[in-house]
Amino acid sequence: MGDKNAARKPPRRTRERILEASLRLFNEYGEPNVTTQLISDDLGISPGNLYYHFRSKDEIIESLFADFERRIEDTLAAPERRLPDVEDVWLFLHLVFESVWDYRFLYRDLTELISRNRLLETHFQRILRHQIHTAELICDGLVASGQMRASRAEIHSLAVTMTMTATYWLNFEFVREPRRPVDAAALGRGAFHVMSLAAPYLVGRSRELFEQLAQRYLPDGAT
Q: With helix as H, strand as E and coil as C, how does 10-31 read?
A: HHHHHHHHHHHHHHHHHHHHCH
**Average model confidence (pLDDT) across the chain:** 87
User: Do residue 170 and residue 115 come from a single domain?
Assistant: yes
Angle subtended at Cα 205 by Cα 201 and Cα 209, rounded to the nearest 5 degrees: 85
The amino acid at residue 134 is: T
Q: Which domain holds residue 1?
A: 1-55
The residue from 21, 39, 55 where one domain ends is 55
Check residue 4 and give its pLDDT: 52
Assigned domain for 223 exists: no
For the segment 107-127, the average pLDDT, to the nearest whole number, is: 93
User: Do residue 7 and residue 31 come from a single domain?
Assistant: yes
Assigned domain for 123 exists: yes
Check residue 211 and give its pLDDT: 84
Check residue 170 and give its pLDDT: 86
User: Do residue 155 and residue 203 come from a single domain?
Assistant: yes
Assigned domain for 190 exists: yes
Q: How many CB atoms lie within 10 A of CB 138?
A: 23
User: Do residue 179 and residue 153 come from a single domain?
Assistant: yes
What confidence tens digit (pLDDT) does each residue in 81-101 have? 667 888 888 888 989 999 999
For the segment 39-68, the average pLDDT, to the nearest whole number, is: 95
Domain count, the chain: 2
- The structure's pTM equals 0.84
User: Do residue 124 and residue 187 come from a single domain?
Assistant: yes
User: Do residue 67 and residue 169 come from a single domain?
Assistant: yes
User: Do residue 128 and residue 190 come from a single domain?
Assistant: yes
Q: Is the pLDDT of residue 221 over 70?
A: no
In this prediction, residue 27 has a pLDDT band, given cuts at 50, 70 and 90, of very high
Q: How far is CA 38 from CA 14, 22, 31, 41, 60, in A?
A: 16, 9, 11, 5, 13
Check residue 190 and give its pLDDT: 86
User: Do residue 193 and residue 86 come from a single domain?
Assistant: yes
What confidence tens digit (pLDDT) does each residue in 170-201 have? 888 888 877 777 777 777 788 888 999 999 99
User: Do residue 74 and residue 5 come from a single domain?
Assistant: no
Domain CATH for 178: 1.10.357.10
What percent of the chain lies above the pLDDT cut of 70? 89
User: Do residue 37 and residue 140 come from a single domain?
Assistant: no
